[in-house]
Structure 1
Amino acid sequence: MLFKSSFVAAAVALFPGALAFSGKVLRIMPIGASITNGVGSSHGNGYRDDLYNLLERDGNVVNMVGSQKAGDFHHPHNEGYPGAVISEVNGHVQDAMPYYRPNVATILVGTNDCTRQLDPAGLPDRMYKLIDDVLNWPWLTMVVVATLPPNANPEGNALIDQYNAAMYSVAQRFNDQGRWVIVADVHSVVGLGDLVDGTHPNDAAFERMGQKFYEAIQVGESRGWLADVYGAPPVQD
């Protein structure tokens, strides 16, 4: 499995379109706080429009879902709550999951926990619970959990580094159970100079983050982790 995972990662790095797929229906719920909501981007879309466009251009039907709306593109829905910490996001998501029923959940949350230094030792367990709660609904969902971008707050940034390292172990715990969780390493494509205010990425960094989510979804689909959508499309205004 390690060899196969390394091979897939190398293939994606060398040939970014190697695992592209088409003809699928993706109901994606972007989950998180202000970065997911798109704060910092000039158009308010964050990485979400970039991810949407990449998947749609491959020939897929894409629907972004969630109770929140932000940005200027035609699928502005998400579950991004500015200022929220992991436990608060989890509460919102459990209200949203039974209505929107995503087959893909992209999760980027934890920056506020790190910059506020909220129970640093409990960060991996809180993320495990959030992911577990997303997966525990009766339909099948692929969870793409992101590493966090860097932060200008030195103490918070040190915790972000610890958090990011732990996410691979968290994902592996689920994989060992046969559950569909994959890490998108967005931290690797965002530098401190890409932050508009010390926390939120600029447009160029958001675009690179969207590419990382896209690549992670491609890898997940190649592993058979993209299920058919469950139920009729949710009504969204």
Structure 2
Amino acid sequence: MANDEKRSWSSHLSFIRTKRAVFTLTLLVIISAVLIALGATHVLRPKTYPSDDDQQPSSGDQQPSGDDQQPSDINITANGIMTAPGNWRPKNSSSIANGTPLRIMSLGASLVRGEFSTGDVGFRKTMRDELVNLGVPVNMVGSQRFGEMLDNDLEAYGGNRISQIHEHATHIVPQLQPNLFLIHVGSNNVLQNRDVDEAGAHMEDFINYLLNASTRATVIFSTCLTNTVPDCEPKILDVNEQYRNIIKKFDSKPVLLAEMHPSEGFPDRPQAIDIGPDGTHPTDYGYDLMGHIFTESIQEADRKGYLRWPVENGLEKDGDAGRAEETTTTQELPPSISTSTNTSSTHAATAIEINR
């Protein structure tokens, strides 16, 4: 009898263990299936954002060579804004929506000055008005003032090639510390047939200087406009291709390339019909298109988290502040080798260099 009872208890325990094993196995299968499903929908993918310490590249960081990256690696938006690959964000990045003031330095030659446009404002007023309408505090800065608009500071000199505007920038950028550079330069390299083959290398050096001299800055440079001067357009296309190649070298740096030339098929680029009689400077409509493109580029920089609060150095957040009573002018003043501060608005405002 005792043996029969033992066998009965043993049979019960064996059955219970079997049920537990089946239940446990079933539960494990269900959990595994759920985990696999979540992983497939990216819910459980770990974040791979680098820490702040990893985000800021040192000046000695090695960048991939042009041979190591293919054109397909470039991120290109529908509006023709090009950046190097990756989701990198700099330290202390902010956004237009959070009210980050933009201290903008426009660099280049007569196209940046807006020569031959109504009021000599070119693309700058269109772009500035669009940013202000987005609620952005804007201060255009530079050692020059040009154009019939209040906030008309810039760093642009007629006839300048890339290396020349680079040299001018070294005298003013460390003092003003812009947090946004807009560059449109290179047409004079073509028109003067100087350093055309070196345009990309010169632009790369220029951008690296700006990033090192103003460490909270974002750089937006653009391809050259189409040109109707005889025999110039092939060289313009060459320079633009050099620019598109160097953007690949600025991975993990706040640099964007704005496409201004219609050859890439992006909409609303200045066409030959939008270029004036001299073959180089656009009409008012062409300048407006340039302004829209730069605004879109700035918005793209915002989406990428590139924009950072400018260095506090006494400059106004709003470049129109203190200038309401001033009379704007396009007249060029005598050249000056020093930079002064405009006491009414704490703008840097040295005299405009005579065109060359």
Report if TM-score (shorter chain) is over 0.5: yes
Q: 1:207 to 1:233 in 2, by over 3 A?
A: farther
Deviations 1:71-96 (A, max 9, x none): 11111110110011111111111111
**1:184 to 2:254 alignment:** no
Query: Where does residue 287 of structure 2 map in the other structure?
Result: 206
For these two proteins, the number of residue pairs brought into alignment is 226
C-alpha displacement of 1:114: 0.9
Q: 1:127 to 1:21 in 2, by over 3 A?
A: same
Contact 2:177–2:214 under 8 Å retained in 1? no
SS of the equivalent of 1:78 reads: strand
Deviates more, 1:204-213 or 1:145-154: 145-154
Unaligned runs of 5+ in 2: 1-71, 81-94, 263-268, 316-345, 350-356
SS of the equivalent of 2:118 reads: coil
Runs of 4+ in 1 over 3 A off after TM superposition: 2-6, 19-22
Q: Aligned partners of 2:74 and 2:209: how far apart in 1?
A: 28
Contact 2:140–2:151 under 8 Å retained in 1? yes
Q: Taking every aligned residue pair, what percent have the same amino acid on both sides?
A: 29
SS of the equivalent of 1:120 reads: coil
Q: Aligned partners of 1:96 and 1:153: how far apart in 2?
A: 33
Query: Where does residue 16 of structure 1 map in the other structure?
Result: none
The TM-score normalised by the length of structure 1 is 0.89
Q: 1:128 to 1:172 in 2, by over 3 A?
A: same
Query: Where does residue 194 of structure 1 map in the other structure?
Result: 274
Q: 1:88 to 1:138 in 2, by over 3 A?
A: closer
Query: Where does residue 187 of structure 2 map in the other structure?
Result: 111
Deviations 1:176-195 (A, max 9, x none): xx111101112231122212
Contact 2:197–2:239 under 8 Å retained in 1? no
Deviates more, 1:39-48 or 1:131-140: 131-140
SS of the equivalent of 2:160 reads: coil
Question: What is the correspondence of 1:9-20 to structure 2 with a 5 Å cutoff?
Answer: 9-10=77-78
Query: Where does residue 28 of structure 1 map in the other structure?
Result: 104
The TM-score normalised by the length of structure 2 is 0.60
Contact 2:183–2:222 under 8 Å retained in 1? yes
Q: Which amino acid aligns with 1:48?
A: R
More helix by share: 1
Deviations 1:197-217 (A, max 9, x none): 211111111111111001111
Q: Aligned partners of 2:230 and 2:210: how far apart in 1?
A: 31
Q: Aligned partners of 1:116 and 1:173: how far apart in 2?
A: 27
Q: Which amino acid aligns with 2:120?
A: G
- Greater C-alpha Rg: 2
Unaligned runs of 5+ in 1: 14-18
